[in-house]
């Protein structure tokens, strides 16, 4: 398993480069009644748009609630002041490594601007970190008012942040912008438990659970946030019967994970995924699943690192949060993802989609043309299925790749020129396999089971002629949110692309179809159609057929081989009844 995959999507974490200017203030117009109690929000830079920060959607998961399903938040009588973001969930405090430098230098801005950006980031103070972190934020321009006619509820878009299930927070600047709200939706951004706090399983924790399972707490938090939306969003002008979940990287993984969990049924009505689908995560609660470490094995490693041989759940829950965070290694974090436990996930995501055993809704998914440029330098493995692929001649590479791609190894080497330029080809192969194959796979399955799927391909590059990043991982986020950092460069092409993408996203949230008046037609995928978003490349955004189809077809073999092996391991064929012995 590639070591970089457990940390995939630091992009959204690093992209919030500088604090956005704001005119937020407490105003009587943002004092509302809600099912939880009275809430006081703040105004924003745009008249009539308000932000409600740090709303508790579940009880603090501390003490006996650490490693437990989230409980309902308490209501209140006094006015709740929602003017400050909630705490970040527990996570490593220093995660960038060389990633940050590559991101900045790759924009081709020059040494002086690079220096200014580095200084600005160093001066930022992130939100406090705590186990008490189950908060969400609501931006709305549709508050019910006493002096106006009753307003129609607006579609709700619930954003799930990325960060590999190990990092991130809902308060990043790139997510906190009014652009989508100005286009007629209510925007909700949520926190969820991360890393060991969010995904660790252990036999002793399962003993204390009413369903005899452990792990998947981050998913349960996301489901709890959707239940909060169902019960409360009307007070903020949102329509609880028209909810779209959307996210990027691990947030996009999470979108498919909630689609695969029966506990999230009927809590959302559409799904948008940006650069990620969890179909290749195959971890089990107990017993290794075709290469992924089991939840129990990872939990036992955590317990051992804490000095326990046979700990009780009470002992594990008594460990200080910082001490626990400090012993988590990158190897451990590979096990902190969704696991099949028979309750939250009756099937792993990939098999749930294959069998039609998931929450079927219209989908809009896509990925970027250069997803691997920020990751390959740290982990020079072109495929997620093999841990030790190294440069070599075609025969050597074919021998190794045949372990994961028994029929297509030779073709893959040729398609990516791996034998002549391993770094460039491997970078592109990494992006296509982790992101392209999996988002296309879930879209294909969704169509096969009767729902609409729309796919996009994002190839916009930074406007500087010296840029080296291409359309890197997470590059589309500011286009969706309208939250560009101008110092990184913003061309006229970029501004037009921003408007285009926001219109498509909001149209999809309204109706389940991105198309609308004045927009280039976006056909359903139907096995081959994509919307190609581009800027600063000379290409015009529009529908295109068969994008990277030969490459994705060849790479998908690896996923299908593993899913078949996983299904066989979980559902072994029954032995045939012995035949009668001849007389």
CA distance 265 to 79: 33
CA distance 85 to 136: 8
For tokens 């604090």, name the residue.
19
What number of residues does the chain have?
A: 583
- 3-class state of residue 557 by DSSP: helix
Give the Cβ contact number of residue 75 at 10 Å. 10
**Taking a C-beta distance cutoff of 8 angstroms, is the pair 230, 255 a contact?**
no
CA distance 94 to 389: 29
Give the closest residue to 168 by CA, choosing from 212, 221, 118: 221
**Taking a C-beta distance cutoff of 8 angstroms, is the pair 412, 401 a contact?**
yes
**Taking a C-beta distance cutoff of 8 angstroms, is the pair 530, 456 a contact?**
yes
Give the closest residue to 173 by CA, choosing from 24, 8, 14, 57: 14
CA distance 226 to 245: 9
Answer yes or no: 3 catalytic: no
Residues in contact with 442: Cβ distance below 8 Å, sequence separation at least 6, in sequence order = 256, 259, 273, 277, 279, 349, 353, 363, 365
Exactly one of 170, 214, 234, 249 is catalytic; which is it?
249
Specify the DSSP class assigned to residue 69. P
Give the closest residue to 139 by CA, choosing from 151, 127, 157: 157
Residues taking part in catalysis? 249
């Amino acid at each position: 398993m590639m070591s970089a995959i457990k940390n995939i999507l630091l992009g959204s974490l690093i992209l919030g480069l500088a604090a956005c200017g704001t005119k937020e203030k407490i105003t009587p117009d943002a004092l509302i009644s809600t099912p939880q109690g009275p809430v006081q929000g703040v105004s924003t830079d745009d008249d009539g748009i308000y932000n409600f920060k740090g709303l508790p959607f579940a009880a603090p998961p501390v003490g006996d609630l650490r490693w437990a399903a989230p409980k309902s938040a308490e209501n209140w009588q006094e006015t709740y002041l929602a003017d400050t973001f909630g705490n970040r969930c527990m996570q490593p405090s220093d995660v960038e490594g060389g990633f940050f430098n590559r991101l900045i230098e790759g924009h081709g801005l020059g040494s002086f601007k690079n220096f200014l950006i580095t200084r600005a980031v160093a001066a930022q103070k992130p939100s406090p970190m705590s186990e008490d972190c189950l908060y969400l934020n609501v931006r709305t321009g549709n508050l019910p008012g006493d002096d106006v006619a009753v307003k129609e509820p607006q579609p709700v878009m619930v954003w799930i942040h990325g960060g590999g299930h190990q990092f991130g927070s809902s308060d990043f600047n790139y997510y906190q912008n009014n652009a989508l709200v100005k286009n007629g939706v209510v925007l909700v951004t949520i926190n969820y438990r991360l890393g060991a706090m969010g995904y660790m399983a252990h036999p002793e924790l399962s003993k204390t659970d009413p369903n005899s399972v452990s792990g998947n707490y981050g998913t349960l938090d996301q489901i709890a946030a959707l239940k909060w939306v169902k019960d409360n969003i009307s007070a903020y002008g949102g329509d609880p019967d028209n909810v779209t979940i959307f996210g990027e990287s691990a947030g996009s993984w999470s979108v498919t994970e909630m689609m695969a969990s029966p506990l999230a049924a009927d809590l959302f009505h559409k799904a948008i995924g940006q650069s990620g689908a969890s179909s290749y995560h195959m971890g089990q609660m107990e017993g290794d699943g075709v290469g992924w470490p089991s939840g129990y094995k990872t939990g036992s490693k955590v317990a051992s690192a804490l000095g326990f041989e046979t700990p009780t759940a009470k002992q594990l829950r008594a460990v200080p949060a910082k001490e626990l965070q400090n012993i988590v290694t990158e190897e451990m974090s590979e096990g902190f993802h969704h696991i099949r436990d028979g309750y939250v996930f009756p099937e792993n995501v990939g098999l749930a989609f294959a069998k039609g055993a998931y929450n079927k809704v219209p989908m809009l998914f896509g990925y970027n043309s250069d997803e691997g440029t920020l990751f390959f330098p740290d982990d020079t493995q072109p495929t997620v299925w093999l841990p030790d692929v190294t440069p070599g001649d075609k025969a050597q590479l074919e021998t190794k790749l045949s372990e994961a791609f028994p029929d297509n190894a030779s073709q893959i080497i040729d398609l990516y020129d791996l034998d002549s330029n391993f770094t460039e080809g491997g970078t592109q192969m990494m992006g296509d396999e982790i992101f392209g194959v999996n988002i296309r796979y879930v879209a294909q399955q969704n169509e096969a089971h009767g729902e609409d799927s729309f796919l996009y391909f994002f190839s916009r590059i930074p406007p500087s002629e010296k840029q080296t990043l291409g359309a890197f991982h997470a590059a589309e986020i500011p286009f969706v949110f309208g939250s560009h950092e101008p110092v990184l460069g913003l061309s006229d092409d970029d501004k037009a692309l921003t408007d285009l993408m926001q219109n498509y996203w909001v149209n999809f949230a309204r109706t389940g179809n991105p198309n609308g008046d004045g927009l280039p037609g976006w056909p359903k995928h139907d096995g081959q159609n994509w919307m190609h978003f581009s800027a600063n490349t000379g290409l015009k955004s529009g529908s295109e057929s068969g994008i990277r189809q030969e490459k994705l077809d060849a790479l998908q073999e690896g996923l299908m081989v593993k899913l078949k092996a996983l299904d066989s391991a979980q559902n072994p064929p029954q032995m045939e009844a012995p035949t009668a012995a001849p007389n």
